[in-house]
Amino acid sequence: MEEIPFNKPYLTGKELENIVLAKEYGQLAGDGVFTQKCSNWIEESTGCYKALLTHSCTAALEMAAILIRTSPGDEIIMPSYTFVSTANAFVLRGGIPVFVDIRSDTLNIDETLIESAITSKTKAIVPVHYAGVACDMDTIMDIADRHNLIVIEDAAQGVNASYKGKILGSIGHLGCYSFHETKNIISGEGGALLINDSSFANRAEIIREKGTNRSLFFRGQVDKYTWVDIGSSYLPGELIAAFLLAQMLKAKDITQKRIDIWNKYHASFQNSDMVDNVGLPTVPSNCAHNAHMYYLLLPNLNKRTSFIGYMKERNINCVFHYVPLHTSPQGKKVGVCSGRLDVSSDVANRIVRLPIWVGLSSQEQKRIIESTLSYLK
């Protein structure tokens, strides 16, 4: 029986053609024709003020941390149930991650717990849109406005998803995207910083260009460029952008194909008596998700471990997800917890993700569903 991988990168067929074109254009370093087209696509599809392509979502988060002038001792509120880059970006600048528990339905940061985590040292809130399902952004933005805080959306998993009609990444003051090969729209490695508050735009360009005003120089806004601020080399090369553009132009099609698989899984499990003691994904009615992942919440860690082994025996690769940051060695060293994080710890032990990628055949989907239901009997 042929193996079904957890993830398989999808190619539209135009990627290599674009890479050849990039070479013919004669510029392989960043900020060429393809980088500009990718930035334009993000700006047009999200409505953000400015989009800056980066070499990863980690880079975008690091830029955001510099942009908001994170200083030693500043507190940054975020979920513990997230990837390490969400916290690392701020820790690198001396910031302190303040971990808040997640909701048991969407697995997003629990907005009702944010306000109690705010202190005089709080600088920003970083909501993470887990599985491409939006956090309660109205509540989060209201809290931020009342406490004069900055909101940085970690929308690594949120490309082409929305909250009340607003594209994720375009709601907070800043937003961060990932185009890693495990995401929906990919370039191997890649990301973007979305600037929604125009006051950040000029400095963001400088930070991205190693702390120089090079972009202003090329636009003729200064007569020479020089070192004016801190920064690093956060831009991707043109080959990455060329690959990415092919994906972006098929983003709606890619998203719909993933949603079709997600819907097939969900209908199969929702309508089965075998999953009464298993949690399924929740998508609030005011959210349009992008089918970034499909997961099950099994009763406990032993069941989860057993399930992964059972599926592996049938050549189906299923995986768990994050170790909550507050339980990690580095998280204990540099972060603090706001209250108990019982849901985060519980979910981390129970969650298992099923394969979902464009190109997963109907027969493979059937195998996954039938094997899952067989285990849950």
- Residue 141 is part of which domain span? 15-248
Give residue-wise pLDDT tens across range 310-341.
999 999 999 999 999 999 999 999 999 999 99
Is residue 242 domain-shared with residue 297, that is, in the same domain?
no
Does a structural domain hold residue 8?
no
If one counts every other C-beta atom within 10 angstroms of the C-beta of residue 286, the result is 13
Is residue 322 domain-shared with residue 370, that is, in the same domain?
yes
Across residues 55-66, what is the average pLDDT?
98
Is residue 72 domain-shared with residue 153, that is, in the same domain?
yes
E-strand spans in the chain? Answer: 50-54, 75-79, 96-100, 122-125, 150-154, 162-163, 166-167, 174-178, 191-195, 287-288, 294-297, 336-337, 351-354
Is residue 215 domain-shared with residue 353, that is, in the same domain?
no
Q: What is the pLDDT of residue 319?
A: 98
pLDDT at 273 over 80: no
Q: What is the pLDDT of residue 166?
A: 98
Paired tokens of 71: 């200083």
Is residue 260 domain-shared with residue 244, that is, in the same domain?
no
Across residues 192-199, what is the average pLDDT?
98
Is residue 215 domain-shared with residue 299, that is, in the same domain?
no
- CATH (domain of 279): 3.90.1150.10
Q: What is the pLDDT of residue 222?
A: 74
**Which residue, 210, 233, 248, sits at the end of a domain?**
248
Does a structural domain hold residue 9?
no
- Counting Cβ atoms within 10 Å, is residue 14 exposed (0-12), middle (13-18) or buried (19+)? middle
pLDDT at 118 over 80: yes
Does a structural domain hold residue 101?
yes
Q: Is 333 helix (H, G, I), strand (E, B) or coil?
A: helix
Give residue-wise pLDDT tens across range 11-31.
999 999 999 999 999 999 999
Is residue 193 domain-shared with residue 295, that is, in the same domain?
no
Does a structural domain hold residue 367?
yes
Whole-angstrom Cα distance, residue 338 to residue 35?
40
How many domains are contained in the chain? 2
Paired tokens of 192: 């973007």
pLDDT at 84 over 80: yes
Closest CA to 266 of 133, 102, 79: 133
Is residue 140 domain-shared with residue 278, that is, in the same domain?
no
What residue type is assigned to position 367 of the chain? R
The total number of residues written for the chain in this structure:
377
pLDDT at 10 over 90: yes
Whole-angstrom Cα distance, residue 236 to residue 173?
23
pLDDT at 278 over 80: yes
In whole numbers, what is the pLDDT of the chain averaged over residues? Answer: 96
CB 200 within 8 A of CB 172: no
Across residues 165-192, what is the average pLDDT?
98
Confidence of residue 70 (pLDDT cuts 50, 70, 90): very high
Is residue 136 domain-shared with residue 178, that is, in the same domain?
yes
Across residues 347-354, what is the average pLDDT?
98
pLDDT at 217 over 80: no
**Which residue, 218, 248, 278, sits at the end of a domain?**
248
Q: What is the pLDDT of residue 221?
A: 76
Question: What's this model's pTM, rounded to 2 decimal places?
Answer: 0.96
Cα distances (angstroms) measured from residue 203 to each of 63, 176, 231, 238, 248: 10, 16, 10, 22, 26
Is residue 222 domain-shared with residue 365, that is, in the same domain?
no
Cα distances (angstroms) measured from residue 245 to each of 46, 238, 255, 289, 354: 15, 10, 15, 22, 28
Q: What is the pLDDT of residue 190?
A: 98
- Name the residue with higher pLDDT: 363 or 276: 363
Kindly give the pairing relationship between strand 191-195 and strand 50-54.
antiparallel
Does a structural domain hold residue 331?
yes
Does a structural domain hold residue 216?
yes
Is residue 236 domain-shared with residue 263, that is, in the same domain?
no
pLDDT at 276 over 90: no
pLDDT at 277 over 90: no
Is residue 92 domain-shared with residue 128, that is, in the same domain?
yes
Give residue-wise pLDDT tens across range 224-250.
789 999 999 999 999 999 999 999 999
